[in-house]
Amino acid sequence: MSTNPNKYVEKILDYVKAKFPDIELLDIIETPDSENSKTILVRAPEDGDIQFDIMERASEIAMDILLENGEHFLVIPLSNAEDLEI
């Protein structure tokens, strides 16, 4: 049932970047137990309040996508992403 998840990722990132233009896509991870679920990792400021606001804004559009298309996306902001092996 998976369509083109990249168009949804782009839609989510555009929506979030409208309010938080400094975020940067790091990776898209497929959830092992569901082909219709993806985690989007983004580089974000270290401020925990801003990270929460990013997740909240992303969830607004992600919920619309889930209800309309059955595709689930979770955005995870990371501040120390340079320490990760992606």
**Beta pairing partners, 43:** 24, 78
* Average per-residue pLDDT for the chain: 89
Dihedral class, residue 39 (left if φ above 0, else alpha if ψ from -120 to 50, else beta): beta
* pLDDT for residue 1 is more than 50: no
In what order do the strands lie in the sheet containing 24-30? 24-30, 37-43, 72-78
**Cβ neighbours for 70, distance < 8 A, ≥ 6 positions apart:** 1, 36
Q: What pLDDT sits at residue 28?
A: 95
**Least confident window among 1-5, 11-15, 48-52, 53-57:** 1-5
* pLDDT for residue 80 is more than 70: yes
Nearest alpha carbon to residue 38 among 73, 86, 77: 73
Q: What pLDDT sits at residue 36?
A: 87
Domain range annotation of the chain: 5-30+45-77
* pLDDT for residue 30 is more than 80: yes
